[in-house]
């Protein structure tokens, strides 16, 4: 499959902090964008879903940049400092030459499509998981990909199914932990909220894997 940029013209970023390519500093700090809901229910940037459905919207360079950063954040969860020229070369691009270079456009598109955001002049928060396409972006896809996305959606757990309840329990467990509830009492809180006891242990155990730093310091 030929990798071609989206048919839409590159979207210019809104007014605000400069893009990474327009910053004078040669390095940039990258940290994970923590979003409990998207982290729990989203899709990995390296997944087939992103390749099939997100790539035609954001373009291949932006997709590969997200994959590159996801892999590095997986190894350094607290964040890392990247050399911008080195990152550009790692993607097979020329060194950064301003916001309109391929690398600069990729960084801008990540921000425009709410897949990254500035946390300071030289700190960029990047999503580790991507949400499913919204209807607005779905309509940009060719009809065959819209049909494929509909089939993907139909294959997801239906409301009322066991898998649906398991996902709901995990989402609630993640929310409880994020609000500061100790892991030891999280199961009790889930039962109070109407989660079946048979699902609470799995949900809290899964939440521990998502927040290992909290699990180490309950």
Q: What is the DSSP annotation of 51-68?
A: IIIIHHHH-HHHHHHHHH
**pLDDT (0 to 100) of residue 167:** 81
CA distance 183 to 212: 11
Per-residue tokens: 198: 């048979």
**pLDDT (0 to 100) of residue 155:** 76
User: Among candidates 144, 24, 165, 26, which has minimal Cα distance to 82?
Assistant: 26
Q: Which residue has the tokens 């959606």?
A: 153
| Structural domain total, the chain | 2
**pLDDT (0 to 100) of residue 143:** 94
Q: Within a domain: residue 1?
A: no
Share of the chain above pLDDT 70, in %: 79
Q: 30: domain range?
A: 20-153
- List CB contacts of 135: < 8 A, sequence separation 6 or more: none
Looking at the fold, whether 145 and 169 belong to one and the same domain comes out as no
Task: Using a cut of 0.85, tell me whether the model's pTM lies above it.
Answer: no
User: Among candidates 58, 68, 60, 59, which has minimal Cα distance to 28?
Assistant: 68
Q: Within a domain: residue 12?
A: no
Model confidence pLDDT, tens digit, residues 126-158: 999 998 888 889 999 999 999 998 888 877 665
Looking at the fold, whether 30 and 54 belong to one and the same domain comes out as yes
**pLDDT (0 to 100) of residue 97:** 59
Give the 3-state secondary structure of residue 32: strand
**pLDDT (0 to 100) of residue 101:** 77
Mean pLDDT, all residues of the chain = 79
Q: Average the pLDDT over 198-212 and give the result.
A: 81
- List CB contacts of 30: < 8 A, sequence separation 6 or more: 69, 72, 73, 79, 80, 81, 82, 123, 124, 125, 126
Looking at the fold, whether 39 and 127 belong to one and the same domain comes out as yes
Looking at the fold, whether 134 and 181 belong to one and the same domain comes out as no
Q: If you ran DSSP here, which 8-state letter would residue 6 be given?
A: -
Query: Which of 104, 121, 153 delimits the end of a domain?
Result: 153
Query: Which of 153, 175, 201 delimits the end of a domain?
Result: 153
Looking at the fold, whether 105 and 199 belong to one and the same domain comes out as no
**Please, what sign has the CA dihedral across residues 183, 188, 193, 198?**
positive
Looking at the fold, whether 59 and 142 belong to one and the same domain comes out as yes
**pLDDT (0 to 100) of residue 130:** 92
Q: Are 164 and 158 in contact (CB under 8 A)?
A: yes
Strand order in the sheet with 80-83: 80-83, 27-33, 123-127, 116-120
User: Which pLDDT band, with edges at 50, 70 and 90, does 45 fall under?
Assistant: very high
Q: Are 87 and 103 in contact (CB under 8 A)?
A: yes
Say how many CA atoms lie within 13 Å of 163 toward its Cβ.
5
CA distance 148 to 180: 40
Highest averaged pLDDT of the listed ranges 6-15, 77-86, 97-106, 203-212? 77-86
Per-residue tokens: 69: 């950063």
User: Which pLDDT band, with edges at 50, 70 and 90, does 120 fall under?
Assistant: confident
Looking at the fold, whether 176 and 147 belong to one and the same domain comes out as no
Looking at the fold, whether 133 and 51 belong to one and the same domain comes out as yes
Residue, of 35 and 124, whose pLDDT is higher: 124
Looking at the fold, whether 94 and 61 belong to one and the same domain comes out as yes
Query: Which of 153, 175, 205 delimits the end of a domain?
Result: 153
Looking at the fold, whether 142 and 170 belong to one and the same domain comes out as no
């Amino acid at each position: 499959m030929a990798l071609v940029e989206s048919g839409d013209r590159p979207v210019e970023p809104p007014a605000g902090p400069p893009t990474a390519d327009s910053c004078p500093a040669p390095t940039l700090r990258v940290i994970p964008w923590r979003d409990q809901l998207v982290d729990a229910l989203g899709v990995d940037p390296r997944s087939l879903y992103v390749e099939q459905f997100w790539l035609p919207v954001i373009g291949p360079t932006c997709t590969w940049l997200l994959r590159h950063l996801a892999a590095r954040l997986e190894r350094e969860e607290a964040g890392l400092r990247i050399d911008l020229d080195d990152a550009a070369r790692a993607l097979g691009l020329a060194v950064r030459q301003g916001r309109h270079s391929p690398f600069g456009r990729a960084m801008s598109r990540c921000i425009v499509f709410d897949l990254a955001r500035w946390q300071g002049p030289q700190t960029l928060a990047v999503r580790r998981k991507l949400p499913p396409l919204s209807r607005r972006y779905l309509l940009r896809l060719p009809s065959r990909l819209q049909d494929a996305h509909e089939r993907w959606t139909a294959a997801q757990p239906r409301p009322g199914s066991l898998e649906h309840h398991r996902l709901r329990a995990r989402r609630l467990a993640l929310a409880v932990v994020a609000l500061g509830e100790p892991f030891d009492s999280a199961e009790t809180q889930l039962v109070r909220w109407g989660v079946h006891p048979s699902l609470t242990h799995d949900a809290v155990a899964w939440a521990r894997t998502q927040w290992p730093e909290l699990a180490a310091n309950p």
